[in-house]
Amino acid sequence: MPELPEVETVRRGLEPVMTGQIIERAEVNRDGLRWPFPPRMAERLTGARVVQLRRRSKYILADLSTGETALIHLGMSGRMLISGVMQGSFHHDHPAPQKHDHVVLHMAGGARVTFNDARRFGAMDLLATETAESHPLLAVLGPEPLGNQFDEAYLKARLKGKASPIKSALLDQHLVAGLGNIYVCEVLFRAGISPKRQAGQISAARVAAMVPIIRQVLAEAIEAGGSSLRDYRQADGELGYFQHVFQVYDREGQPCLTPGCSASISRIVQSGRSSFYCPQCQR
C-alpha cells in the first residue's frame, strides 16, 4: 500500500494540473470501490473548481469551490494518472479507456485525471470541507511526521510506558500519521534500534533522535518519488526510485551495508508485517 511519500508524490504531481482548475466533467464508471461512492458524485464534482490539494496521512484531499472536499485513498493498487498535458519534457496523450478506470475527471484546458484501481481497495468520498477533519477516517489520526506537532516531546510522551514493540508503535496511525512498513524499517535501522525493542524501554535520548531521522527518511523518499515495489506509479506514470537505496527493507539474507558489520539482514513477522533489520547494528 502506498505510504506517505508515495501519496505526497502523487499529490505534488496532481497539483499543477488540478489546483485552480475546473472539473468540466466527472465520469464515474461504477458504484464504488472499497465502499460505495456518495450519491450523485459525478454531478457534484462536475463544474467544481479545485481550490487546493492537500494530504492528510495517506489520503489526498481536494477542497472544492462547492464547499465539499473530495477524499481519495489509493488503496493497494490505485493510481491517479494524468494525460493530455505537458509533464516535464513529455506530453502524455489520452490513452484508450481501461477496464479499471473507475473515476475520470476531465479538467478545463484538456487535462484528464484518471483514478485507476485494479484491485478496487481504493476509495473516494465527498465531505463537507468545513467539517472534513472530523470525518471518522481523519479524526483518529495522529500528527503528521513532517508537521510541527510531531516533535521530540510528543514522541517521548506517547512512547513512555508503552509495552508494544517500537515497530508496532510507529505503525500505529493514532500515534503518528502516514508511516508505513517500509519507512519504519528504514528509520529503525538508521536509529540503530531493533524492531523488537519494547517502545517504553527505549531511552528518552534515543526516542528524541528518531524524530529527525523519521523526517529525513521521508524527505529523501519524497525527493526520490517514493518507492515502486508492485503497483505504485507517480501521477505521470513514472516509477519511484527510493527502493534502490533501501538499507534493510526487502533485503533478507543480504549483507548489512554498515561499514565493518559482518551480519546479514534478518526478517521477522510482527503483527502480520515483515520487519527487516540488522541484528548486529540494531539493539
Q: Known catalytic residue: 119?
A: no
Rounded distance, CA 68 to CA 202, Å? 43
CB within 8 Å of 20: residues ≥ 6 apart: 49, 50, 51
Provide the 10 A C-beta neighbour count for residue 88. 7
Q: What are phi and psi of 7, to 5 degrees?
A: -65, -40
Q: Is 273 a catalytic residue?
A: yes
Please give the C-alpha separations between residue 250 and each of 247, 265, 268, in angstroms, as whole numbers. 9, 9, 11
Q: Which residues does 156 contact at the CB level (< 8 Å), separation at least 6?
A: 204, 207, 208
- Active-site position among 144, 238, 273, 279: 273
Q: CA-CA distance, 84 to 106, in Å (whole number)?
A: 10
Q: Which of 11, 55, 56, 58 is catalytic?
A: 58
Element (H, E) at 18: helix 4-18
Q: How far is CA 262 from CA 190, 253, 255, 257, 280, in A?
A: 17, 12, 7, 9, 8
* Closest CA relative to residue 211, chosen from 148, 283, 279, 141: 148
User: Would the CA dihedral through 177, 178, 179, 180 be positive or negative?
Assistant: positive
Sign of the dihedral defined by the CA atoms of residues 252, 4, 171, 262, in that order: positive
Enzyme catalytic residues: 2-3, 58, 273
